């Protein structure tokens, strides 16, 4: 397992409850954020093998580790989906994988690459999501990003995008940078979304240790045109391919939820420092061309936009041309693998 080496704060003494364990000193959290922000960005990131960083979550033989040990196939068929989970919990870091999505008719299929702690904090979990939404033949995959903090599932912060390439033709890198102050989603090193922590968000910003997940599953009830088009198992198995796993973060003891460890990695000129002016220009160009939905402009869901939203009238007008978006009614990733396990029984 590779981690970034930094002089992070030493282990601190656990207190009696899990929630008390997260009333850590602000300095401690900031030290761990500094380690993430203190480096530039490059492609020279160590790659972990699957067995070094992950374990199978569900799906039986629908998960296949290839002979190189660094690539995995997840498949969905009429029996079950499949998924894997990181072996460690992380509090902040940079997490990435190359993904190639299924081709042809993929309506109702969702491939997810995300962070969650729903199995530890069932009523106040956090999430950081990449979701890939399949489509009917001739229509493109869509990519959706979202966050939840402290169980705030009643306030979805979804944004949905098209892409400038066909994600089923080849592998592309999808990355999450998570720090104490912001979250950035990347596609092939292009920042596509930045979420800054604001005081008004309160606990809605993800702040507790999370595990990394990847799944493929049947979301026929909502994923394609609000459930109009469903998974057609005539085209199964649907296979999502994963490789180039990057796991760089501060690990947290899964029992005490206190022992944060940031081990050394030399030549650390690799993790993004945030968004540079040129990267921001690319991000704004991407969003102008490819964004299809933003929660900030959803007047049906929110009478007033959430506090962190900055309204752009031109953007609001442009987004009107896209079809209405239906979401899964309080669903969250922390339960998905349980659905898959039930389907496999």
Annotated active-site residue in 122, 127, 256, 284: 127
Annotated active-site residue 127? The verdict is yes
Active site residue 158: no
Residue among 338, 296, 282, 302 at smallest CA distance from 81:
338
Rg (CA), the chain: 19
Nearest CA-CA partner of 8 in 16, 25, 197, 247: 25
Of 20, 78, 131, 140, the catalytic one is: 131
Cα(319)–Cα(232) distance, integer angstroms: 30
**Residues identified as active-site:** 127, 131
């Amino acid at each position: 397992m590779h981690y970034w080496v930094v002089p992070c704060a030493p282990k601190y003494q656990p207190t009696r409850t899990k929630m008390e364990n997260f009333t850590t000193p602000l300095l401690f959290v900031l030290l761990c954020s500094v380690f993430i922000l203190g480096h530039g960005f490059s492609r020279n990131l160590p790659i972990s093998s699957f067995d070094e960083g992950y374990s199978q979550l569900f799906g039986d033989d629908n998960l296949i580790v290839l002979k190189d040990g660094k690539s995995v196939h997840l498949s969905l068929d009429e029996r079950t989906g499949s998924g894997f989970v990181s072996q460690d919990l992380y509090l902040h870091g940079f997490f990435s994988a190359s993904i190639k999505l299924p081709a042809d008719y993929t309506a109702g299929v969702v491939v997810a690459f995300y962070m969650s702690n729903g199995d530890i904090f069932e009523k106040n979990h956090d999430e950081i999501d990449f979701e890939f939404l399949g489509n009917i033949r001739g229509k493109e995959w869509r990519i959706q990003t979202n966050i939840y903090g402290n169980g705030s599932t009643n306030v979805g912060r979804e944004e949905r995008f098209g892409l400038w390439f066909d994600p089923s033709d080849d592998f592309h890198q999808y990355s999450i940078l998570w720090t104490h102050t912001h979250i950035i989603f990347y596609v092939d090193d292009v920042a596509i979304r930045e979420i800054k922590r604001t005081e008004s968000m309160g606990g809605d910003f993800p702040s507790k240790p999370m595990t990394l997940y990847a799944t493929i599953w049947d979301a026929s009830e909502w994923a394609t045109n609000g459930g109009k088009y469903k998974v057609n198992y005539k085209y199964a198995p649907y296979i999502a391919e994963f490789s180039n796993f990057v796991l760089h973060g501060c690990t947290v003891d899964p029992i005490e939820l206190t022992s944060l460890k940031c081990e050394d990695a030399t030549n650390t000129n690799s993790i993004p420092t945030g968004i540079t002016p040129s990267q921001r220009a690319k991000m704004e160009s991407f969003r102008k061309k490819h964004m299809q939905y933003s929660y900030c402009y959803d007047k049906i869901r929110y009478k007033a936009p959430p506090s962190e939203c900055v309204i752009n009238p031109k953007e609001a007008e442009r987004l009107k041309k896209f079809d209405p978006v239906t979401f899964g009614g309080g669903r969250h990733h922390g339960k998905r693998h349980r659905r898959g396990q039930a389907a496999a029984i």
